[in-house]
Structure 1
Amino acid sequence: MSGRLVLAACLWLAVGAPALAAHAAVDAAAKPGQIEIHNFMFMPKTLTVPVGAKVTWINRDEEPHIVVSANGQFAPSKALDTGDRYVTIFSKPGTYTYYCTVHPFMIGTVIVK
């Protein structure tokens, strides 16, 4: 095995594996209709709910996040500090893509059936 490959494997074990484990732990702990913001990710990334469902975003990061609908389909959140929550009710079926305006690489989807 080349030195670079060994180094890459060690880096993944040191950095990537714990992040995946944390992601899985938060996903497992999330309640129905709840989206955790953790490690600059929405978890779950895609949430499917019935019409009329209340969805709650909870910021678990130390950095603030703002949840915004990509197409203005729901009102944006205020800046969410650690532990803050944002709640909206989805009254119509459809696919709602959203993102964080502070960190636009953070993207998620709520599917309402």
Structure 2
Amino acid sequence: MKKQLQFALLGTLMVALPTFAQDVRIDIKEFMFAPVDLNIPPGTNVTWVNDDQIPHTVMETHKAFHSAALDTNDSFSYRFDNPGTFEYFCALHPQMIGKIVVSAQL
């Protein structure tokens, strides 16, 4: 009985734990962002890494964030502290698009 109570208490604690922020990588390769769509909790740090042989940028459509031109192996990071939907694109190749949804309800 004591072990069952311990497991029940542990299960309750695990359910009550908040979603912790993390570090996430988005690869830029073959004129695409991968993953294209991303759902993350607030406080997550996202890093885009250019794996292509030509420069790319990361620009949010409402200018919440933007990178300089990223050469091969260059990276750009942004910490998403507030909930919302953030659509972005490459200013040099506007057909390259992505979307990040920040929600505490993950």
Query: TM-score when scaled to structure 2?
Result: 0.74
Consecutive unaligned residues of structure 2, counting only runs of 5 or more, are 1-22
Q: Deviations over 1:51-108 (max 9, x none)?
A: 010000000000100110001122x101100000100000100110000000000000
**1:88 and 2:78 aligned:** yes
Pairing 1:18-97 to 2, within 5 Å after superposition: 33-74=24-65, 76-97=66-87
Give 3-state SS (helix, strand or coil) of 1:33's partner: strand
More helix by share: 1
Partner of 1:12: none
One-letter amino acid of the structure 1 residue matched with residue 55 of structure 2: P
Superposition CA RMSD, Å: 0.9
Distance 2:34 2:26 in 1: 5
Distance 1:94 1:102 in 2: 25
Aligned residues: 81
Consecutive unaligned residues of structure 1, counting only runs of 5 or more, are 1-31
Distance 2:78 2:101 in 1: 13
Match of 2:94 among 91, 101, 104: 104
Query: Which stretches of structure 1, 4 residues or longer, exceed 3 Å deviation after superposition?
Result: none
Distance 1:83 1:42 in 2: 14
Distance 1:85 1:40 in 2: 15
